[in-house]
Copies of this chain bind each other. A is one copy, B any other.
Amino acid sequence: MTYKIAVLPGDGIGKEIVDQAARVLTALKLDISLEEAPVGGAAYDQLGHPLPPSTLALAKSSNAILFGAVGDWKYDSLPREHRPEQAILGLRKNMGLFANLRPAILYPQLANASSLKPEVVSGLDILIVRELTGDIYFGTPRGVRTAEDGAFKGEQEGFDTMRYAETEVRRIAKIAFEAARKRQGKLCSVDKANVLETSQFWRDIMIDVSKQYPDVALSHMYVDNAAMQLVRAPKEFDVIVTGNLFGDILSDEAAMLTGSIGMLPSASLNASNQGLYEPSHGSAPDIAGKNIANPLATILSAAMLLRYSLNETAAADKIEEAVRQVLAQGLRTADIYEEGTEKVSTSQMGDAVLKAL
Protein backbone atom coordinates (compact mmCIF):
# COMPACT_ATOMS: atom_id res chain seq x y z
CA MET A 1 0.00 0.00 0.00
CA THR A 2 1.25 3.46 -0.89
CA TYR A 3 0.93 6.05 1.86
CA LYS A 4 -0.61 9.24 0.56
CA ILE A 5 0.61 12.46 2.16
CA ALA A 6 -0.97 15.83 1.43
CA VAL A 7 1.67 18.54 1.51
CA LEU A 8 0.27 21.97 2.37
CA PRO A 9 3.09 24.52 2.60
CA GLY A 10 0.91 27.61 3.19
CA ASP A 11 2.37 31.07 3.69
CA GLY A 12 5.55 32.81 4.80
CA ILE A 13 8.32 30.33 5.57
CA GLY A 14 5.87 27.46 5.05
CA LYS A 15 7.26 26.43 1.69
CA GLU A 16 10.93 26.44 2.72
CA ILE A 17 10.46 24.38 5.84
CA VAL A 18 8.01 21.91 4.33
CA ASP A 19 10.41 21.35 1.42
CA GLN A 20 13.06 20.12 3.83
CA ALA A 21 10.63 17.84 5.66
CA ALA A 22 9.44 16.45 2.32
CA ARG A 23 13.05 15.69 1.34
CA VAL A 24 13.48 13.80 4.59
CA LEU A 25 10.29 11.79 4.08
CA THR A 26 11.34 10.93 0.54
CA ALA A 27 14.82 9.86 1.61
CA LEU A 28 13.40 7.17 3.87
CA LYS A 29 12.55 4.94 0.91
CA LEU A 30 9.11 4.10 2.19
CA ASP A 31 6.25 3.74 -0.26
CA ILE A 32 5.04 7.31 0.12
CA SER A 33 3.43 9.60 -2.43
CA LEU A 34 3.46 13.34 -1.70
CA GLU A 35 0.89 15.60 -3.29
CA GLU A 36 1.01 19.37 -2.82
CA ALA A 37 -1.89 21.85 -2.61
CA PRO A 38 -2.27 25.51 -1.66
CA VAL A 39 -3.64 26.57 1.72
CA GLY A 40 -4.03 29.81 3.74
CA GLY A 41 -3.26 33.18 2.21
CA ALA A 42 -1.54 31.50 -0.76
CA ALA A 43 -4.75 29.61 -1.52
CA TYR A 44 -6.83 32.75 -1.11
CA ASP A 45 -4.61 34.52 -3.64
CA GLN A 46 -4.77 31.64 -6.10
CA LEU A 47 -8.27 30.30 -5.62
CA GLY A 48 -10.19 32.87 -3.57
CA HIS A 49 -10.46 30.76 -0.42
CA PRO A 50 -8.00 29.89 2.37
CA LEU A 51 -9.17 26.26 2.30
CA PRO A 52 -10.26 25.53 -1.29
CA PRO A 53 -12.50 22.47 -1.76
CA SER A 54 -9.77 20.79 -3.81
CA THR A 55 -7.30 21.17 -0.94
CA LEU A 56 -9.79 19.85 1.59
CA ALA A 57 -10.62 16.90 -0.67
CA LEU A 58 -6.93 16.05 -1.05
CA ALA A 59 -6.42 16.29 2.72
CA LYS A 60 -9.40 14.05 3.44
CA SER A 61 -8.26 11.39 1.00
CA SER A 62 -4.73 11.26 2.45
CA ASN A 63 -3.29 9.26 5.31
CA ALA A 64 -1.73 12.38 6.70
CA ILE A 65 -1.09 16.05 6.07
CA LEU A 66 2.27 17.74 6.26
CA PHE A 67 1.42 21.35 6.98
CA GLY A 68 3.71 24.37 6.96
CA ALA A 69 2.18 27.50 8.42
CA VAL A 70 -0.43 30.07 7.44
CA GLY A 71 -0.84 33.80 7.90
CA ASP A 72 0.61 37.11 6.79
CA TRP A 73 -0.08 40.68 7.84
CA LYS A 74 -1.38 41.43 4.39
CA TYR A 75 -4.50 39.34 4.97
CA ASP A 76 -5.34 41.01 8.30
CA SER A 77 -8.01 43.25 6.83
CA LEU A 78 -9.90 40.47 5.05
CA PRO A 79 -13.25 39.45 6.49
CA ARG A 80 -12.74 36.67 9.01
CA GLU A 81 -13.98 33.83 6.73
CA HIS A 82 -11.26 34.59 4.19
CA ARG A 83 -8.37 34.90 6.59
CA PRO A 84 -5.59 32.29 6.50
CA GLU A 85 -6.37 30.93 10.00
CA GLN A 86 -9.70 29.69 8.71
CA ALA A 87 -7.81 27.05 6.75
CA ILE A 88 -6.44 25.44 9.84
CA LEU A 89 -9.73 25.73 11.74
CA GLY A 90 -11.56 24.27 8.72
CA LEU A 91 -9.18 21.34 8.39
CA ARG A 92 -9.50 20.54 12.09
CA LYS A 93 -13.28 20.69 12.07
CA ASN A 94 -13.92 18.99 8.72
CA MET A 95 -11.56 16.15 9.43
CA GLY A 96 -12.48 15.77 13.09
CA LEU A 97 -8.89 16.31 14.22
CA PHE A 98 -9.83 16.51 17.87
CA ALA A 99 -6.57 15.50 19.54
CA ASN A 100 -3.70 17.94 19.42
CA LEU A 101 -0.41 16.64 20.79
CA ARG A 102 2.17 19.31 21.50
CA PRO A 103 5.42 18.26 23.12
CA ALA A 104 7.50 20.95 24.82
CA ILE A 105 11.00 19.53 24.93
CA LEU A 106 14.20 21.34 25.69
CA TYR A 107 17.16 19.81 23.88
CA PRO A 108 20.17 19.84 26.21
CA GLN A 109 22.31 21.71 23.66
CA LEU A 110 19.77 24.52 23.42
CA ALA A 111 19.27 25.23 27.12
CA ASN A 112 20.77 28.73 26.74
CA ALA A 113 18.06 29.77 24.29
CA SER A 114 15.46 29.80 27.05
CA SER A 115 14.60 32.99 28.90
CA LEU A 116 14.33 30.82 32.01
CA LYS A 117 17.21 29.80 34.20
CA PRO A 118 18.86 26.60 32.96
CA GLU A 119 18.13 24.71 36.17
CA VAL A 120 14.42 25.48 35.81
CA VAL A 121 14.10 24.14 32.27
CA SER A 122 17.01 21.82 31.48
CA GLY A 123 15.67 18.40 30.56
CA LEU A 124 12.15 19.77 30.20
CA ASP A 125 9.87 17.21 28.53
CA ILE A 126 6.15 17.81 28.80
CA LEU A 127 3.31 16.86 26.52
CA ILE A 128 0.25 19.03 26.15
CA VAL A 129 -2.85 17.24 24.94
CA ARG A 130 -5.25 19.90 23.70
CA GLU A 131 -8.81 19.19 22.58
CA LEU A 132 -9.06 20.75 19.16
CA THR A 133 -12.55 20.59 17.65
CA GLY A 134 -14.81 21.73 20.47
CA ASP A 135 -15.05 24.42 23.15
CA ILE A 136 -15.63 28.09 22.47
CA TYR A 137 -13.76 27.77 19.16
CA PHE A 138 -16.76 26.25 17.45
CA GLY A 139 -19.63 26.60 19.96
CA THR A 140 -22.82 28.22 18.71
CA PRO A 141 -24.65 30.56 19.10
CA ARG A 142 -22.05 33.29 18.58
CA GLY A 143 -21.99 36.72 17.01
CA VAL A 144 -22.98 40.29 17.74
CA ARG A 145 -26.52 41.05 18.87
CA THR A 146 -28.63 43.37 20.98
CA ALA A 147 -28.38 42.20 24.60
CA GLU A 148 -31.70 40.78 25.71
CA ASP A 149 -31.00 40.67 29.43
CA GLY A 150 -28.57 41.73 32.11
CA ALA A 151 -27.33 45.16 33.09
CA PHE A 152 -26.66 46.18 29.49
CA LYS A 153 -29.97 45.13 27.98
CA GLY A 154 -30.65 46.90 24.72
CA GLU A 155 -26.96 47.50 23.96
CA GLN A 156 -24.85 45.78 21.32
CA GLU A 157 -22.84 42.85 22.64
CA GLY A 158 -20.39 40.32 21.25
CA PHE A 159 -20.94 36.75 22.42
CA ASP A 160 -19.67 33.19 22.07
CA THR A 161 -20.62 29.82 23.51
CA MET A 162 -18.25 27.55 25.36
CA ARG A 163 -19.50 23.97 25.35
CA TYR A 164 -18.26 20.43 25.75
CA ALA A 165 -20.35 17.31 25.27
CA GLU A 166 -19.66 14.11 27.14
CA THR A 167 -18.18 12.17 24.20
CA GLU A 168 -15.84 15.02 23.36
CA VAL A 169 -14.36 15.03 26.85
CA ARG A 170 -14.21 11.24 27.11
CA ARG A 171 -12.31 10.76 23.89
CA ILE A 172 -9.66 13.39 24.61
CA ALA A 173 -9.37 12.04 28.16
CA LYS A 174 -8.65 8.61 26.73
CA ILE A 175 -5.89 9.96 24.47
CA ALA A 176 -4.33 11.81 27.40
CA PHE A 177 -4.46 8.89 29.83
CA GLU A 178 -2.95 6.56 27.20
CA ALA A 179 -0.17 9.07 26.56
CA ALA A 180 0.52 9.49 30.28
CA ARG A 181 0.66 5.72 30.67
CA LYS A 182 3.47 5.56 28.10
CA ARG A 183 5.38 8.35 29.86
CA GLN A 184 5.77 9.15 33.57
CA GLY A 185 2.19 8.22 34.44
CA LYS A 186 1.23 11.72 35.57
CA LEU A 187 -1.72 13.55 34.05
CA CYS A 188 -2.77 17.07 35.02
CA SER A 189 -6.18 18.17 33.77
CA VAL A 190 -6.41 21.95 33.51
CA ASP A 191 -9.74 23.73 33.77
CA LYS A 192 -11.49 26.64 35.51
CA ALA A 193 -13.98 24.55 37.46
CA ASN A 194 -14.27 27.16 40.21
CA VAL A 195 -15.99 29.46 37.74
CA LEU A 196 -17.14 27.63 34.60
CA GLU A 197 -19.89 25.05 34.27
CA THR A 198 -18.16 23.61 31.22
CA SER A 199 -15.05 23.06 33.33
CA GLN A 200 -16.91 21.36 36.17
CA PHE A 201 -18.51 19.06 33.59
CA TRP A 202 -15.06 18.40 32.07
CA ARG A 203 -13.55 17.67 35.48
CA ASP A 204 -16.29 15.23 36.47
CA ILE A 205 -15.73 13.23 33.29
CA MET A 206 -11.94 13.25 33.72
CA ILE A 207 -12.46 11.76 37.17
CA ASP A 208 -14.81 9.16 35.76
CA VAL A 209 -12.40 8.14 32.97
CA SER A 210 -9.53 7.96 35.45
CA LYS A 211 -11.14 4.89 37.01
CA GLN A 212 -10.01 2.94 33.94
CA TYR A 213 -6.43 4.11 34.45
CA PRO A 214 -5.53 3.29 38.03
CA ASP A 215 -1.86 3.36 37.00
CA VAL A 216 -2.04 7.04 36.01
CA ALA A 217 -2.01 9.75 38.70
CA LEU A 218 -4.64 12.31 37.76
CA SER A 219 -4.51 15.81 39.22
CA HIS A 220 -6.54 18.95 38.50
CA MET A 221 -5.32 22.49 38.25
CA TYR A 222 -7.04 25.80 37.54
CA VAL A 223 -5.83 27.42 34.35
CA ASP A 224 -4.53 30.54 36.10
CA ASN A 225 -2.47 28.41 38.42
CA ALA A 226 -1.24 26.29 35.50
CA ALA A 227 -0.03 29.43 33.73
CA MET A 228 1.96 30.23 36.89
CA GLN A 229 3.32 26.75 37.56
CA LEU A 230 4.57 26.49 33.98
CA VAL A 231 6.76 29.50 34.72
CA ARG A 232 7.72 28.48 38.25
CA ALA A 233 8.48 24.79 37.90
CA PRO A 234 7.58 23.40 34.48
CA LYS A 235 9.39 20.13 35.08
CA GLU A 236 6.75 19.17 37.64
CA PHE A 237 4.43 18.41 34.72
CA ASP A 238 4.35 15.24 32.65
CA VAL A 239 1.18 15.29 30.53
CA ILE A 240 -1.32 18.16 30.60
CA VAL A 241 -4.80 17.69 29.14
CA THR A 242 -7.06 20.66 28.57
CA GLY A 243 -9.72 22.21 26.37
CA ASN A 244 -9.24 24.02 23.10
CA LEU A 245 -9.02 27.58 24.44
CA PHE A 246 -6.88 26.92 27.52
CA GLY A 247 -4.75 24.56 25.41
CA ASP A 248 -4.13 27.29 22.87
CA ILE A 249 -2.72 29.55 25.57
CA LEU A 250 -0.83 27.01 27.67
CA SER A 251 0.75 25.11 24.78
CA ASP A 252 2.23 28.32 23.43
CA GLU A 253 3.42 29.36 26.86
CA ALA A 254 5.00 25.94 27.37
CA ALA A 255 6.64 26.04 23.95
CA MET A 256 8.18 29.42 24.69
CA LEU A 257 9.67 28.14 27.95
CA THR A 258 12.13 26.22 25.82
CA GLY A 259 13.21 29.35 23.94
CA SER A 260 13.51 27.16 20.86
CA ILE A 261 10.04 27.02 19.42
CA GLY A 262 11.72 26.42 16.06
CA MET A 263 12.33 22.87 17.32
CA LEU A 264 8.80 21.92 18.36
CA PRO A 265 6.48 19.76 16.24
CA SER A 266 2.81 19.05 16.71
CA ALA A 267 0.24 16.47 15.67
CA SER A 268 -3.53 16.79 15.34
CA LEU A 269 -5.28 13.45 15.09
CA ASN A 270 -8.75 12.16 14.38
CA ALA A 271 -10.43 8.93 15.42
CA SER A 272 -9.05 7.01 12.41
CA ASN A 273 -5.46 8.19 12.98
CA GLN A 274 -5.49 10.56 10.09
CA GLY A 275 -3.42 13.49 11.21
CA LEU A 276 -2.24 16.97 10.44
CA TYR A 277 1.39 17.61 11.32
CA GLU A 278 2.83 21.08 11.63
CA PRO A 279 5.51 23.00 13.46
CA SER A 280 4.40 24.80 16.63
CA HIS A 281 5.71 28.10 15.34
CA GLY A 282 4.02 30.38 12.84
CA SER A 283 4.59 31.55 9.28
CA ALA A 284 7.15 34.27 10.14
CA PRO A 285 6.52 36.35 7.01
CA ASP A 286 9.36 38.70 7.99
CA ILE A 287 11.99 36.06 7.24
CA ALA A 288 10.19 34.25 4.41
CA GLY A 289 12.17 33.43 1.29
CA LYS A 290 15.52 34.06 2.95
CA ASN A 291 16.47 30.44 3.50
CA ILE A 292 17.19 31.12 7.18
CA ALA A 293 14.15 29.58 8.91
CA ASN A 294 14.61 26.54 11.13
CA PRO A 295 13.19 23.45 9.37
CA LEU A 296 13.65 21.13 12.35
CA ALA A 297 10.19 21.58 13.89
CA THR A 298 8.70 20.58 10.53
CA ILE A 299 11.12 17.69 10.11
CA LEU A 300 10.20 16.51 13.61
CA SER A 301 6.53 16.90 12.64
CA ALA A 302 7.23 14.50 9.78
CA ALA A 303 8.58 12.10 12.39
CA MET A 304 5.35 12.42 14.36
CA LEU A 305 3.48 11.77 11.10
CA LEU A 306 5.34 8.51 10.61
CA ARG A 307 4.75 7.51 14.22
CA TYR A 308 1.08 8.35 14.64
CA SER A 309 -0.55 8.12 11.21
CA LEU A 310 1.63 5.58 9.39
CA ASN A 311 2.76 3.52 12.37
CA GLU A 312 6.29 3.59 10.94
CA THR A 313 7.98 3.77 14.32
CA ALA A 314 11.46 2.83 13.15
CA ALA A 315 11.49 5.56 10.51
CA ALA A 316 10.22 8.10 13.07
CA ASP A 317 12.97 7.10 15.48
CA LYS A 318 15.54 7.52 12.71
CA ILE A 319 14.50 11.09 12.00
CA GLU A 320 14.51 12.05 15.66
CA GLU A 321 17.95 10.51 16.07
CA ALA A 322 19.20 12.39 12.99
CA VAL A 323 17.98 15.67 14.48
CA ARG A 324 19.76 14.95 17.73
CA GLN A 325 22.90 14.26 15.69
CA VAL A 326 22.89 17.53 13.79
CA LEU A 327 22.44 19.38 17.06
CA ALA A 328 25.33 17.44 18.55
CA GLN A 329 27.41 18.40 15.49
CA GLY A 330 26.85 22.02 16.49
CA LEU A 331 24.76 23.01 13.48
CA ARG A 332 22.27 25.80 14.20
CA THR A 333 19.89 27.93 12.19
CA ALA A 334 19.84 31.63 13.07
CA ASP A 335 16.99 31.34 15.62
CA ILE A 336 18.99 28.98 17.87
CA TYR A 337 22.50 30.14 16.98
CA GLU A 338 24.93 30.98 19.73
CA GLU A 339 28.64 31.58 19.83
CA GLY A 340 30.71 28.48 19.36
CA THR A 341 28.20 26.81 17.06
CA GLU A 342 27.98 26.80 13.26
CA LYS A 343 25.28 28.87 11.64
CA VAL A 344 23.54 27.13 8.73
CA SER A 345 20.70 27.94 6.35
CA THR A 346 17.36 26.20 6.07
CA SER A 347 18.51 23.98 3.22
CA GLN A 348 21.89 23.27 4.78
CA MET A 349 20.08 22.08 7.90
CA GLY A 350 17.98 19.85 5.64
CA ASP A 351 21.15 18.53 3.99
CA ALA A 352 22.64 17.75 7.38
CA VAL A 353 19.59 15.82 8.54
CA LEU A 354 19.58 13.83 5.29
CA LYS A 355 23.24 13.02 5.74
CA ALA A 356 22.67 11.93 9.34
CA LEU A 357 19.84 9.60 8.34
Contact = CB atoms under 8 A, between A and B. Distances in A.
Contact of A139 (B159, B163, B245): B159
A156 B165 contact: yes
Give this chain's copy count. Answer: 2
Interface residues of A, number: 67
A137 interface: yes
Contacts of A163: 147, 157-160
Interface in A114-154: 115-117, 120, 136-137, 139-140, 142-144, 147, 149-152
A248 B194 CA distance: 12
Given A80-B200, A83-B194, A166 B155 contact: yes
A158 B228 contact: no
Contacts of A151: 165
Nearest to A227: B253
Contact of A165 (B136, B147, B165, B259): B147
Contacts of A117: 115-117
A200 to B, nearest CB: 7
Contact of A223 (B164, B195, B249): B249
In the A-B complex, the 10 residue pairs with the smallest Cβ-Cβ separation, listed nearest first, are A158-B201, A152-B165, A228-B256, A159-B163, A158-B198, A227-B253, A157-B165, A224-B252, A231-B256, A160-B162
Interface of A: 80, 83, 85, 89, 115-117, 120, 136-137, 139-140, 142-144, 147, 149-152, 155-168, 192, 194-202, 223-225, 227-233, 245-246, 248-253, 255-257, 259, 261
